[in-house]
Amino acid sequence: MTIFATEGAGRPAAALKALVVDDEVVNRTVLVAMLRAQGFDIIEAENGEQACAICAEVVPDFIFMDTLMPKMDGFEATQRIKKMLGSAFVPVLFLTAMFEESQLRRCIEVGGDDFLSKPYSRILLEAKIAASLRVRGMHLDLAAQRDKLTDYRDHQQRDMAVAKRILDNVATREELAVGNVRYLLQPMELLNGDIILAANRPTGEQCFLVGDFTGHGLPAAIGAMTVHGVFMSMVAKGLGVEEIARELNRKMCELLPVERFLSAAILELHNETGMFKVWNGGMPDILVRNAEGTSISRFRSVNLPLGIVSPETYRSTTASGALKPGDQVLVYSDGLTEAHNRAADLFGDARLQAVFAQPGEPDRLFDRLLASLAEHVQAAPQSDDVSILSVRCDPDLPSAKRASGPATVTQPPGHWDFSIVLDAAALKRSEPVATVIQVMETVQGLGALRTPLFMVLTELFSNALEHGLLGLASDIKQRPNGFFEYYEARQQRLEALEEASLSIACQHLPAADGGRLTVRLLHNGAGFDPTGLPSSQGVSTQLKGRGIRLVRSLCESLEYRDGGREAVAVYRWAGAPASA
């Protein structure tokens, strides 16, 4: 019978090396002869010191170790050799004539794997070698699987690092790095299962999204990138919170498996007026604190998380309110309240509310919240990501940026026109301004014109809808908490609106160095008296007519006809690209 080394499951390699350690020459000679007959390459040692020195240079496949030897016995030598070889499995068979249980037990305790009794039996020797080979093969298989798992883990870590770099590069840090915003994203793993996004609408509102994916790692990262693209694109187009939520739900239903979904909250804030709108789908209560810290209100989740219900049956519900300067909104994931210390004591809603209710500046409160969280958690490993977003109402923040210098478009100016007509049902559910801008972008390519045109269309549409069709008076905004009353009445009257019609017609004509866009809005409402509207932008502290002053400052002309039922604005732009 010839013994060969095997690399795992029966894969032959080379003849095995056996180290025979025995101070008795006769015993050593007998065993060496028996092992050579089985095909082993033999290395001999007279004591434990020699055995250790040999193993430092060559790793044998088997070690046959005598127990009692001069200089260093087999017990100490085996301990040193096992430590020296580390995770490599080299079976040690003790050569012994002892049968005392205490001695046999010591053989096992120092790392021995089996015993070979003196005098040696060839049949028993072959059986023990065969058994050790099976164990050795299993160890080699386990080592190979361990190496594969290590390679897979390293590859996954590299992929996750690449995904993290991509996410970091597309993160909306610029929009979050403003004076009224503080945030924390604290991942449990390399990749965060939470997401915080920010973008500004063309009319100046700050929009935020805080999301919490089920699960972590690459699936959450892929979902986060999709959410980022949808959110940023739709905010840039001026679409509202409800439309963003519905589109995100459609995307999540397409992307995520059945057991995965995205809990999210979307916030829209107009700092100049203090008006804000929130959409909460499966996130903890959104907290709103007044500047003095004497009042905290909650906006609970009334929507399902994204990716659970099909787009055809999904319903999106928002809530609105009004903030005063210094009022603060706090949005967070459940990783905050479920953060725990080593005793498994949760941070909890009570601690959060206690910090948030303290008097003081919003920025200081945010720092206190982080300090309280760190003090509670200490160094305890967490089971979920933590995300926190704090937004303070600040009327002094710069409003939407207007294009400065020559306007740019991506296509030579052409002659085109189109129109849309909206009935009452369409006015309740659609975003016509975003649709019109998207059509213009398709036929002309707006470039730097997008923001001023969005402002013009938004103001003209809002004026026609709110004053012409709904009969709202701007004087309401002058009252304390007037904006909240105004938009609450707007929502109520819009829901009750019937038999309404509003059309938007756009005509563009090329000019010498650009183009002239005529926008005409016509509705069938009661209209209003346009004689009291401001004739120029000027400087005024009055909220009434502010939108009209903005339109007149951007447009070449603005004219109201038929008792306010028709508005005609002419927008002139220069800086056309050369024709092909």
Q: Is the predicted pLDDT of residue 99 greater than 80, yes or no? A: no
Mean pLDDT to the nearest integer, 114-126? 86
Per-residue DSSP letters for 283-312? Answer: PPPEEEE-TTSS-EEEE---BPPBTSS-TT
Q: In terms of domains, do 429 and 477 share one?
A: yes
On the question of pLDDT at 408 being above 70, the answer is no
Whether residues 202 and 63 fall in one domain: no
Check residues 225 and 264 and name the one with the higher pLDDT.
Answer: 264
Q: Contact 164/191 with Cβ under 8 angstroms?
A: yes
User: Within this chain, do residues 448 and 506 fall inside the same structural domain, yes or no?
Assistant: yes
Burial classification of residue 368, based on how many CB atoms lie within 10 Å of its CB (0-12 exposed, 13-18 middle, 19 or more buried): middle
Average the pLDDT over 278-296 and give the result.
92
Q: What is the pLDDT of residue 331?
A: 97
Which comes out higher in pLDDT, residue 519 or 550? 519
Q: Answer with the residue of higher pLDDT: 520 or 186.
A: 520
Under the banding of pLDDT at 50, 70 and 90, the label for residue 65 is very high
The tokens describing 211, both together, are 């999301």
Residue 163 maps to a domain: no
Same domain, 227 and 264: yes
Q: Note if the bond before 510 is cis, omega within 30 degrees.
A: no
Q: Are 237 and 437 in contact (CB under 8 A)?
A: yes
Domain count across the chain: 3
Q: Among residues 343, 376, 392, which one ends one of the domains?
A: 392
Name, of 49-58, 97-106, 406-415, the range with top average pLDDT: 49-58
Please give the residue that has the higher pLDDT: either 5 or 491: 491
Could you tell me which residue, 119 or 10, shows the higher pLDDT? 119
**pLDDT, tens only, 409-456:** 777 788 899 999 999 998 987 788 888 888 888 888 777 788 888 889
Identify whether the C-beta of residue 55 lies closer than 8 Å to the C-beta of residue 61: no
pLDDT value, residue 490: 86
Q: Are residues 254 and 337 in the same domain?
A: yes
For residues 536 and 75, the model is more confident at 75
User: pLDDT class for 388, splitting at 50, 70, 90?
Assistant: very high
Mean of per-residue pLDDT scores for the chain: 84
**4 compared with 391, residue with greater pLDDT:** 391
Instruction: Answer yes or no: is 148 within a domain.
Output: no
pLDDT in tens, 6-44: 444 443 446 889 999 999 999 899 999 999 988 899 999
Q: Which residue has the higher pLDDT, 364 or 188?
A: 364
The more confidently predicted of residues 502 and 118 is 502
pLDDT at position 580, please? 43
Q: In this model, does residue 324 exceed pLDDT 70?
A: yes
Domain-ending residue, one of 143, 160, 191: 143
Residue 299 has pLDDT above 90, yes or no: yes
The pLDDT of residue 189 is 64
* Same domain? 101 vs 199: no
Give residue 169's pLDDT: 60
Flag whether 186 is in a domain.
yes
CA distance 68 to 46: 11
* 247 and 178, same domain (yes or no): yes
Here the contacts of 183-188 (C-beta below 8 Å, separation 24 or greater) are 183/387, 183/388, 183/389, 183/390, 184/370, 184/386, 184/387, 184/388, 185/385, 185/386, 185/387, 186/335, 186/385, 186/386, 186/387, 187/216, 187/385, 188/216, 188/335, 188/382, 188/383, 188/384, 188/385
* Residue 168 scores a pLDDT above 70: no
More confident residue, 414 or 374: 374
pLDDT attached to residue 300: 95
CATH of the domain at 480: 3.30.565.10
In the chain, the percentage of residues whose pLDDT exceeds 90 is 37
pTM: 0.66
Q: Give the least confident one: 158-167, 225-234, 323-332, 336-345.
A: 158-167
> Which residue from 472, 504, 506, 511 is spatially nearest to 490, judged by alpha carbons?
472
Same domain, 209 and 351: yes
Q: Which two tokens stand for residue 577?
A: 């690209």
- Quote the pLDDT of residue 4: 45
pLDDT at 400 over 50: no
pLDDT for position 535: 55
Statement: residue 337 has pLDDT above 70? yes
pLDDT at position 98: 66
Question: Once rounded to an integer, what is the mean pLDDT over residues 96-118?
Answer: 81
Average confidence (pLDDT) over 267-274: 90
Say which CATH number the domain at 110 has: 3.40.50.2300
For residues 497 and 567, membership in a common domain is answered with yes
Answer whether residue 539 shows pLDDT above 70. no
What pLDDT band is residue 78 in, cutting at 50, 70 and 90? very high
The answer to the question of residue 165 being in a domain is no
pLDDT at 172 over 80: no
What confidence score (pLDDT) does residue 13 get?
45
What is the model's pLDDT at position 294? Answer: 85
What's the pLDDT band for 394 if we cut at 50, 70, 90? very high
Instruction: Give me the CATH number covering residue 219.
Output: 3.60.40.10
| pLDDT value of residue 81 | 93
Whether 505 has a pLDDT exceeding 50, the answer reads yes
- Band the pLDDT of 298: cuts 50, 70, 90: very high
Q: What is the pLDDT of residue 393?
A: 93
pLDDT given at position 437: 86
Does residue 166 sit within a domain? Answer: no
* Phi, psi dihedrals of residue 143, rounded to the nearest 5°: -65, -40
Instruction: Give residue 536's domain range.
Output: 416-574
For residues 283 and 301, what is the distance between their CA atoms, to the nearest angstrom? 6
- Residue 527: its pLDDT value, please? 79
Same-domain check for residues 117 and 253: no
pLDDT tens digit string along 351-372? Answer: 998 898 888 777 788 999 999 9
User: In terms of domains, do 364 and 435 share one?
Assistant: no
Tokens 């977003």 locate to 389
In a domain, 372, yes or no: yes
The pLDDT score that the predictor gives to residue 574 is: 81
Q: Note whether residue 160 is domain-resident.
A: no
**CA angle 305–173–195, rounded 5-degree value:** 20
Is residue 578 very low, low, confident or very high in pLDDT (cuts 50, 70, 90)?
A: low
325 and 424, same domain (yes or no):
no
Kindly state whether residue 229 falls inside one of the protein's structural domains. Answer: yes
pLDDT at 170 (0 to 100): 57
